Amino acid sequence: MSTHPFNHILLATEHTEFDIGAERLALQMALHCKLPLRAVLPILSNPEYEVEAPQLAIRAEREAAAKVEVLRSQAQQAGVELEISTRRGPEPYREIVEAATLQHSDLIIARRRGKQGFLARLLVGEMVSKVVSHAPCSVLLVPRASQMWSQHILAGIDNSPNAQQVARLAAKIAAQCGMPLTFINVISHDTNSLRLQAETTLGQALAISATAGVNAESRIMVGKYFEQILFAAKELLADLIVVGRHGESNLIHTPFGSTTQKIIGLAEGPVLIVRS
């Protein structure tokens, strides 16, 4: 089994002001991990409309080509090998998911959100939400001001089926980056039964991290999951949060957990959502 957390990184970007952080972090990560970087730039396409106004399609292609050249130049200056492609379609998230599937990506790096829209109140962009929901791999969502992590990794470990997968991936990142790692289990009420369950789950996570050569710490916290995760991240100065898809959403556009969305939207740094 590979000890590297990721081997095939895909940057999903429209090269707007909202994508700056994701682009920066993707280049830093590729350089640090000594990995080639692939990128996909989705182009919104409406075939029926473009038949009536072909000049719009031509302009979109020219704008995309210019963005591709800028990204290639940035990668060259950073010393990163970049393979970039454009994909046309009526729903950009589908093009990103399809690119990740075809390229066997194990991580998609994307912006946290774009312009204010339907999901502004949830602090996660609609396209990004759909990428997380349908991605074949883990997704790293990045605010505009973010840099690659360098201080502390926090992993939210609940009692879901993918808790061990979250622990395993967080431990691999901590081992490769030589960073401290803390596992947090949040319980809704301070009862003996819930504490016992949390201790068992955290014990399994600590065993996984020890196997990876990481001497991690653990905490049990009481309260709302997203509030305690964000509080712990600030207290620990954690600049990477690793979580699974926690909870369910009733919104048709956001089938991944609404609690996870709150963590993504309110966190000061990047959040890695581990695919179950």
* Residue 136 near residue 98, CB atoms below 8 Å: no
Query: For residue range 114-129, what is the model confidence (pLDDT) as tens digits?
Result: 654 444 344 567 888 8
More confident position, 4 or 87 = 87
From-to residues of CATH 3.40.50.620 in the chain = 9-142, 153-273
Cα 276 from Cα 269, distance rounded (Å): 22
Phi, psi at 64, each rounded to 5° = -65, -40
Q: How many CB atoms lie within 10 A of CB 272?
A: 26
Say what the pTM is. Answer: 0.91
What are 87's two structure tokens?
């994909």
Q: What is the pLDDT of residue 45?
A: 80
pLDDT-derived band at 53, boundaries 50, 70, 90:
low
| Residue 212 DSSP class | T
Q: What is the pLDDT of residue 128?
A: 86
Rg (CA), the chain: 19
pLDDT at 239 over 80: yes
pLDDT at 253 over 50: no
Q: What is the pLDDT of residue 49?
A: 57
In order, the DSSP letters of 189-211 are: S--HHHHHHHHHHHHHHHHHHHH
* Residue 219 near residue 184, CB atoms below 8 Å: yes
CATH 3.30.420.340 holds for 153-273: no
The CATH architecture assigned to 9-142 reads 3-Layer(aba) Sandwich (3.40)
